[in-house]
Amino acid sequence: MSPPPKVAIIGAGPGGLTLARLLQQHSIPVTIYEAETSRQARNQGGTLDLHPRAGQLALKEAGLLPEFLKHARPEGEASKIMKYDGRVLWDDNVLPPWRPTAEGEQERPEIDRVVLRDILLDSLLPGTIQWGKKLLGVQEDEKIKGKYNLSFADGSMEMGVDLLVGADGAWSKVRPLVTPEKPFYAGITAIELWALDVDKTNPWLGKFVGQGSMFMFDEGRALMCQRQGSGAVRSYAAIKRPENWAEECGIDWEGPDARERLVNEYFADCGADLQRVILESKDVLIPRKCWMLPVGISWKTRPGVTLLGDAAHLMTPFAGVGVNVAMADALELAKALIARKDSVTAKLLSDSKNITIALEAYEKSMLKRAEENATKTMHGLKGHFSATGSEERAGKIQKGYDMMMAKKAEKEKGF
Ligand SMILES: Cc1cc2nc3c(=O)[nH]c(=O)nc-3n(C[C@H](O)[C@H](O)[C@H](O)COP(=O)(O)OP(=O)(O)OC[C@H]3O[C@@H](n4cnc5c(N)ncnc54)[C@H](O)[C@@H]3O)c2cc1C
């Protein structure tokens, strides 16, 4: 019997971890190479909502849905929509919960990214992850086509990889093997602001934002705030500006007056409460540029190498789908590989042709899903930064609410 294939996943983000878990469940050996030095090395950021047919489905197949539901926060789905002048257009926080539930679960519960990562990390066999392995480059083996040699920043190498999966995010070092496309600036810079432990430090802020998210969309600017499981409020004051705006606008982002200047120069006509969110989010301030890959990116399958998640199809966060798409990719890739492994007509998975057939099947539907979600994200970007963005979002929620109430009324009447 031929030896099992050498499978290397680059990146221990939600996509790479989900893939590793699914493959291990089917006894396919896998190693993850992660640039960070440990699971605690970096603050993993904010909260994410997992969709039933994407993130939640991948966790279900991975046998991790019960663990997810233990930590998920259905109340995090609450939305509050505001107009720039301070008018509240919609507020779930003042209504009883009304969103549709699937099998008794809220449809898109939130989970903190760090908790999701821990669930996935804890599900892997010991030794699966090699921490502190930052991939620098990949060379195809000179003698055996379709096998890859990996070089890491610590000087080490991994030779003869049969299947290389780039799950290494926006600035993937694996991507150049399949496409020359690179991320480009999407026209938006978001100033990330944190206020920690708001119930203790600033109860007003916690109450104002509510249990879930608070959004203000307007022409060329937006304010998006979200309650975290940790008790913090993370906000993005985002504006449509050229790529070098953050460096050239004259605001010293590390200076004591950065928030005041941001408010005075870009949010001066906004309601006092909206301004207060920016001014009182004092714990962290990080300017972040939004990057994306082209909508409809595609490539011809290259034997022995593929991409998933942001590495394959980086999108801006304006539809909130990135993690879900990454986990759906992982599920689909795992299924394609497992199907070839178990197929009685196919040869063993270690046959490189067999891997290529699996990759072709995976990439066909992955690229289609990527295009659909990237298109949705572009609509999201337009809506978030348009003069009627808040009204449109509030109207959409109102429509969903009215439909739910009509259904409820029919049920009560016994129809
Ligand atoms: C501000 C912001 C808010 C967002 N909000 C949401 C949201 O609400 N909902 C949602 O679904 N999505 C959201 N997203 C998108 C989401 O974060 C990403 O789509 C998702 O994390 C992609 O997962 P991934 O596994 O593909 O990559 P990543 O999460 O980027 O993970 C990549 C991993 O690879 C590692 N790595 C990188 N380079 C190397 C290297 N050279 N060698 C080894 N390892 C490497 C990294 O350290 C990291 O651990 C948001 C994104 C941003 C920027």
Q: Would residue 200 count as lying in a domain?
A: yes
- Amino acid (1-letter code) at residue 268: A
CA–centroid distance, residue 190 to ligand 1 (Å): 16
Q: What is the C-alpha separation between 231 and 261, in angstroms, rounded? A: 27
Residue 210 and residue 229 share a domain: yes
Q: For ligand 1, is residue 173 a contact (CB within 6 Å)?
A: yes
CATH code, 241: 3.30.9.60
pLDDT tens for each residue of 77-129: 899 999 999 999 999 999 887 776 544 445 777 888 999 999 999 999 999 99
Domain that holds residue 269: 74-107+184-292+387-415
For residue 40, tell me if it sits in a domain: yes
Ligand 1 atom nearest to 308, measured from its CA: 26
What is d(CA 171, CA 108) in angstroms, rounded to the nearest whole number? 28
**Strand 7-10 with 163-166, pairing:** parallel
* Whether residue 145 sits in one domain with residue 88: no
Q: Which among 203, 193, 240, 247 is positioned nearest to 220, based on CA atoms?
A: 240
The position carrying tokens 């890959």 is 293
Separation of 86 CA from ligand 1 center, angstroms?
A: 33
CATH number at residue 64: 3.50.50.60
Residues 162 and 58 in one domain: yes
Q: Reduced to 3 DSSP states, what percent helix, strand and coil does the chain have, rounded to the nearest 5?
A: 40, 25, 40
Mutate to test the pocket of ligand 1, among 68, 135, 307, 310 (most ligand atoms within 8 A of CB): 310
Domain-embedded: residue 68: yes
DSSP string, 184-211: EEEEEEEEEEEE-SHHHH-HHHHHHH-S
Q: Ligand 1 centroid to 144 CA: how many Å?
A: 32
169 lines ligand 1 (CB under 6 A): yes
Q: In angstroms, what is the span from residue 326 Cα to ligand 1's centroid?
A: 9
- Find out whether the beta carbon of 138 lies less than 6 Å from any atom of ligand 1: no
Find out whether the beta carbon of 310 lies less than 6 Å from any atom of ligand 1: yes
Do 228 and 245 have their domain in common?
yes
Same domain, yes or no: 262 and 188: yes
Going from the Cα of 89 to the center of ligand 1, the distance in angstroms, rounded, reads: 32
User: In this structure, is residue 49 part of a structural domain?
Assistant: yes
327 lines ligand 1 (CB under 6 A): no
Domain identity same for 271 and 366: no
Please give the Cα distance from 370 to 15 (Å, whole number): 14
Paired tokens of 98? 């009304």
User: From CA 11, how far away is CA 147, in angstroms rounded?
Assistant: 19
The pairs formed by 200-207 with CB atoms below 8 angstroms and a separation of 24 or more are: 200/231, 202/280, 204/276, 204/280, 205/233, 205/276, 205/277, 205/280, 205/281, 206/231, 206/233
What pLDDT was estimated at residue 342?
60
- The reply to whether 157 and 237 lie within a common domain is no
pLDDT at 105: 47
Of all protein residues, the one whose alpha carbon is nearest to atom 29 of ligand 1 is: 13
Looking up tokens 């795992």 gives 334
* Ligand 1 centroid from CA 260, angstroms: 30
**Inside any domain, residue 2:** no
List the chain residues with pLDDT less than 70. Answer: 1-3, 43-44, 100-106, 342-352, 415
1 assigned to some structural domain: no
Using CA atoms, how far apart are residues 382 and 318, in angstroms rounded to an integer? 9
Separation of CA 310 and ligand 1 centre (Å): 6
Q: Which atom of ligand 1 is nearest to the CA of 329?
A: 26
DSSP run (H or E) holding 68: helix 65-71
Tally of domains in the chain: 2
Residue ID of nearest Cα to ligand 1 atom 20: 323
370 and 249 co-located in one domain: no
Instruction: Tell me how far the alpha carbon of residue 13 lies from the centroid of ligand 1, in angstroms.
Output: 6
39 lines ligand 1 (CB under 6 A): no
- DSSP state for residue 4 in the 8-state scheme: P
Ligand 1, from 168, 171, 223: best to mutate by most atoms within 8 Å of Cβ?
A: 168
Q: Distance between CA atoms of 166 and 308, rounded to whole angstroms?
A: 6
Chain centroid, CA 178 distance in Å: 22
Q: Which atom of ligand 1 is nearest to the CA of 288?
A: 1
> Same structural domain for residues 210 and 351?
no
| Atom 15, ligand 1: residue with shortest CA distance | 322
Question: Whose Cα sits closest to atom 21 in ligand 1?
Answer: 323
Q: Are 390 and 274 in contact, with CB atoms under 8 Å apart?
A: no
Residue 69 placed within a domain:
yes
Quote the ligand 1 centre to 169 CA distance (angstroms): 5
| Burial 382-408, CB ≥16 within 10 A → b, else e | ebbbbeebbeebbeebeeeeeeeeeee
Same domain assignment for residues 116 and 225 = no
- Which atom of ligand 1 lies closest to the CA of 11? 34
Which atom belonging to ligand 1 lies closest to the Cα atom of 49? 9
Same domain for 17 and 116, yes or no, is yes
Is the beta carbon of 321 within 6 A of some atom in ligand 1? yes
Say yes or no: 200 and 158 in one domain: no
Q: Does 228 fall in a domain? A: yes
| pLDDT given at position 229 | 85
